[in-house]
Amino acid sequence: MSAIESRGYSHPEVLVSTDWVAEHLNDPQVRIIESDEDPLLYATGHIPGAVEVDWTRDLNDPVRRDYLGREGLEALMRRHGISRDTTVVLYGDRNNWWATYAYWVFQLFGHDKAKIMDGGRLKWSNEGRPLTRDVPSYPASDYKAPERDDHRIRAFRDEVLQHVEKKRGPLVDVRSPAEYTGERLHMPEYPNEGALRGGHIPGAANIPWARAVNTDDGTFKTADELRAIYQGEAKVQTDDDVVVYCRIGERSSHTWFVLTHLLGYKKVRNYDGSWTEWGNLVGVPIER
């Protein structure tokens, strides 16, 4: 894959290469964070010095369906010795699916010194770079976070309903075609998707999230290739008010990252209630 700087992204600084990470393993201003879908993966070996942020345990409120609040984020960052000036570099399995989710949650608190390692865990591993089972420990920091600010990059159900009814802008459903059409809920032997109804939010285009990455090495596609998908196929333009969603907001955080940072869209919000909320709501419109 070509160098990140040559791919035409609007904000190439949000991505770093595996080479860059290898050169900053001992940089005290950098904290490398692994965030995976598979809860066993970090323990099998991780980038030397990397700490683990587990989406389920670390980023969610343990009782309510919501993300952690200011105090929770402060405790997490302090535990890993991260300050507001620390550059966090996130990487993980599944083409950085969960890494971009953690990145998105960090942005709810404005921690903008954050980057994603292009290609994620698989690229690092396939390049034969070192992995260790040693779990690092860092002196606690005194991280101070602002209150969580949801309004910029997060959408809630009533806002999405208004978005649809007032035709305020496009929606992108990043689930698989079978989920988008509702076919999955009707197929025998398939587990329930956590929703009573199948289908998609009216008007949503279907661009599965993983189309943004190259299948051979997990790196992001070039800006031209991404524009061909999102602007050419989905007809979603840079100045649109865009809402992205999936099942619980995790896959759509990946698409949020692509549209916001790689293509420079001005207003993209992630509807993390997503299909597990919309597909269970009484009376909302659904398309199949």
Partner 1 sequence: MPEAPAKLARTLETLKSVSDRGERIQLLIDIADRFREVPPQIARRPFPEENRVPACESEAYVWGEARPDGALDYHFAVENPQGISAKALAVLLGDTLSGAPPEQVAAVPQDIVYEVFGNELSMGKSMGLMGMVSMVANLARKQLAARGGTAVSS
* Catalytic residue set: 246
**Contact pick of 22, 25, 131, 248 for partner 1 (by CB under 8 A):** 248
Please report, as residue ranges, which positions from 103 to 142 form the binding site for partner 1 (by CB under 8 A): 121-122
152, two tokens: 């910029």
Beta carbons of 200 and 180 less than 8 angstroms apart: yes
Beta carbons of 279 and 196 less than 8 angstroms apart: yes
Give yes or no for residue 37 binding partner 1 (CB under 8 A): yes
**Contact pick of 9, 55, 103, 124 for partner 1 (by CB under 8 A):** 55
Give yes or no for residue 277 binding partner 1 (CB under 8 A): no
**Contact pick of 39, 146, 232, 264 for partner 1 (by CB under 8 A):** 39
Give yes or no for residue 238 binding partner 1 (CB under 8 A): no
Shorter beta-carbon distance to partner 1: residue 188 or 283: 188
Long-range contacts of 208-216 (CB under 8 A, 24+ apart): 208/174, 208/175, 208/176, 208/177, 209/97, 209/174, 209/246, 209/251, 209/252, 209/254, 209/255, 210/95, 210/254, 212/254, 212/255, 212/258, 212/262, 213/95, 213/96, 214/1
Give yes or no for residue 233 binding partner 1 (CB under 8 A): no
Distance CA 212, CA 255 (A): 8
Would you give the binding string for partner 1 spanning residues 177-206, x where CB under 8 A is met?
-------x--x-xxx-xx------------
Residue ranges binding partner 1 (CB under 8 A): 36-41, 43-44, 54-57, 93-94, 121-122, 184, 187, 189-191, 193-194, 247-248, 250, 276
